[in-house]
């Protein structure tokens, strides 16, 4: 039944045999390299050495196999698209999932042919279900086998996971191809995607620096050993690709809905999306920067939200602090602008007093502060765990959580109240945000004034100085009390102008 459907849809072709010739030649060339290592180290390789080294070869997979299958998928989707079939299926959603099933069968057939080509080069090699002595040799020319045997107890498991990761990546890319074709109906768009993936694969393999976040590196999703090494985790390559596949599946499920709604959502929330991505990239960058050292999760968390202190300053830490915390206050400023613009005599009649009007929306801001801090904490810990960093409690774990959650809450509350006070006093929300940006100058070296100006006091770097985090709390509470008094005076003015 499956074979008849494949034949009917022309999913596979005898012409694929010609595509196997380079794979066969490469497999025999790889066998020659392994034989050289056998003679050099006086050890014996087994069948898994030949199979896994070929399946995980970056030049073969990134420069040939992956681009070839993606190109064939593109041609197949464009050639088999038919409006009569689309009408019979009833929606683009059904068309996409039908094509994905056919492409999945195509992927399986190609992998079977690929695997058969590799087996031709393993004739007369020992068969064993254990790692060979060759795989345990730690040298640059044997990095693939050594990395795999170090992370997996059995070569068969490594092979299955390699095929699963490659299939998962192929299906995800093919999902994207189908979605783009359903939206644009142009072959040119698909070919541009092919070129982009090919160029990105080359750049991420040979040109991108090692410091680049691993989720941007194409080989990490094609080669098991590459993903395990860069992510420092055996499950992170799968988790990342499953997340992308989940997003594409969600898009495919809603592709028949009015796309103007999606555009409206993106237009309305683009600033929040950009802010969230910057926060996420900053966390990921810092975790990657510290992942290869002897650092605990607490150390990495402190380094990520280091900020500035009286004695230590880093431009990168200062910039990330401004993005995360001052960026959050920017959204509060936008919310405040909306509330002030909607305020009128009818608002006062509805709430009967400025105090009740203020309390109708201010608790939402307090909740959003708690959500922000909790999310940053959970995401940082999760990314660190995914990168294989052990969850060990440091001696100052309570101080670390207190500084981030309690002093972080108090610091953001100070910023928010400051913005509200300046906005109400000047009747200009924009001036309040400018005032906060000006205050960030007191985070720079030479301007700290021994924390007299309460800016950046939630910086995690204070844990590394002889500064009491509880005295920081008292300082922030004192300033917040002053702000509350000023706010009460402002909102209870009898001559307040609406």
Summarised one tens digit per residue, pLDDT across range 308-365 is 887 788 888 888 888 899 889 888 888 877 777 666 556 566 666 777 777 778 888 9
Please, are residues 327 and 275 in contact by the beta-carbon 8 Å criterion? yes
More confident residue, 347 or 151: 151
Q: What is the largest CA-CA distance in the chain?
A: 96
Domain that holds residue 237: 2-257
Q: How confident is residue 205, by pLDDT bands cut at 50, 70 and 90?
A: low
Euclidean distance between CA atoms 497 and 482, whole angstroms: 23
DSSP string computed for 268-325:
HHHHHHHHHHHHHHHHHHHHHHHHTSS--HHHHHHHHT----SS---HHHHHHHIIII
Helix, coil or strand: residue 153: coil
210 and 326 fall within a common domain: no
288 and 250 fall within a common domain: no
pTM confidence score: 0.61
CA proximity to 163, closest of 54, 82, 318: 54
179 and 231 fall within a common domain: yes
Euclidean distance between CA atoms 158 and 110, whole angstroms: 20
Instruction: Say how many C-beta atoms besides its own lie within 10 A of residue 45's C-beta.
Output: 23
Q: How confident is residue 266, by pLDDT bands cut at 50, 70 and 90?
A: low
| Any domain includes 13 | yes
Q: How confident is residue 494, by pLDDT bands cut at 50, 70 and 90?
A: very low
Contacts of 192 (CB under 8 A, 6+ apart): none
Q: How confident is residue 402, by pLDDT bands cut at 50, 70 and 90?
A: very high
Q: How confident is residue 147, by pLDDT bands cut at 50, 70 and 90?
A: confident
Tokens of 136: 């345990």
334 and 253 fall within a common domain: no
CA proximity to 2, closest of 73, 79, 105, 107: 105
303 and 342 fall within a common domain: yes
Average pLDDT over residues 436-454: 77
Average pLDDT over residues 437-458: 79
| Any domain includes 264 | no
Euclidean distance between CA atoms 262 and 120, whole angstroms: 51
Structural domains in the chain (count): 2
474 and 339 fall within a common domain: yes
Tell me the Cα Rg of the chain. Answer: 29
Summarised one tens digit per residue, pLDDT across range 240-252 is 899 889 888 888 8
Average pLDDT over residues 81-100: 86
> Range with the lowest mean pLDDT among 259-263, 268-272, 363-367?
259-263
Domain end, chosen from 242, 257, 272, is at: 257
> Range with the lowest mean pLDDT among 95-99, 116-120, 246-250, 258-262?
258-262
219 and 300 fall within a common domain: no
Please, are residues 321 and 308 in contact by the beta-carbon 8 Å criterion? yes
């Amino acid at each position: 039944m499956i074979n008849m459907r494949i034949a009917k849809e022309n999913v596979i072709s005898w012409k694929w045999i010609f595509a196997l010739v380079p794979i066969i030649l490469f497999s025999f060339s790889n066998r020659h390299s392994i034989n050289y290592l056998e003679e050099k180290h006086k050890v014996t390789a087994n069948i898994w050495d030949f199979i896994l080294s070929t399946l995980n070869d970056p030049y073969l997979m990134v420069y040939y196999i992956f681009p070839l299958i993606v190109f064939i998928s593109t041609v197949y989707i464009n050639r088999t698209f038919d409006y009569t079939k689309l009408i019979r299926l009833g929606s683009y959603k059904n068309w996409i999932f039908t094509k994905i099933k056919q492409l999945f069968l195509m992927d399986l057939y190609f992998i079977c042919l690929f695997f058969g080509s590799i087996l031709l080069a393993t004739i007369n090699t020992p068969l064993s279900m254990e790692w060979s002595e060759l795989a345990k040799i730690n040298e640059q020319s044997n990095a693939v086998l050594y990395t795999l045997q170090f992370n997996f107890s059995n070569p068969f498991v490594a092979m299955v996971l390699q095929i699963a990761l490659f299939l998962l990546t192929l299906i995800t890319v093919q999902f994207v191809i189908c979605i783009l074709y359903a939206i644009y109906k142009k072959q040119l768009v698909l070919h541009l995607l092919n070129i982009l993936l090919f160029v990105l694969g080359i750049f991420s393999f040979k040109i991108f620096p090692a410091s680049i976040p691993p989720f941007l590196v194409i080989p990490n999703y094609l080669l098991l050993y590459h993903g395990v090494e860069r992510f420092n985790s055996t499950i992170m390559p799968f988790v990342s690709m499953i997340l992308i596949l989940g997003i594409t599946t969600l898009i495919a499920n809603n592709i028949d809905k009015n796309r103007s709604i999606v555009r409206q959502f993106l237009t309305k929330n683009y600033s929040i999306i950009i802010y969230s991505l910057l926060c996420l990239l900053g966390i990921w960058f810092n975790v990657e920067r510290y992942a290869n050292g002897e650092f605990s999760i607490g150390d990495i968390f402190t380094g990520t939200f280091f900020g500035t202190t009286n004695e230590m300053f880093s431009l990168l830490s200062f910039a990330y602090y401004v993005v995360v915390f001052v960026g959050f206050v920017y959204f509060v400023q936008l919310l405040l602008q909306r509330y002030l613009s909607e305020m009128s005599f009818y608002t006062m009649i509805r709430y009967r007093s400025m105090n009740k009007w203020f309390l109708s929306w201010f608790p939402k801001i307090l909740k959003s502060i708690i959500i922000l801090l909790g999310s940053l904490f959970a995401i940082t810990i999760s990314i660190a765990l995914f990168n294989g960093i052990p969850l060990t409690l440091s001696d100052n774990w309570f101080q670390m959580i207190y500084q981030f959650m309690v002093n972080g809450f108090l610091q953001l509350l100070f910023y928010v109240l400051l913005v509200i006070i300046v906005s109400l006093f000047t009747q200009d929300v924009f001036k309040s945000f400018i005032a906060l940006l000006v205050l960030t100058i007191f985070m720079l070296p030479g301007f700290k004034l021994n924390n007299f100006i309460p800016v950046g006091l939630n910086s995690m770097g204070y844990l590394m100085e002889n500064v009491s985090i509880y005295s920081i709390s008292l300082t922030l509470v004192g300033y917040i009390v002053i702000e509350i008094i000023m706010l009460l005076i402002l909102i209870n003015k009898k001559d307040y102008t609406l």
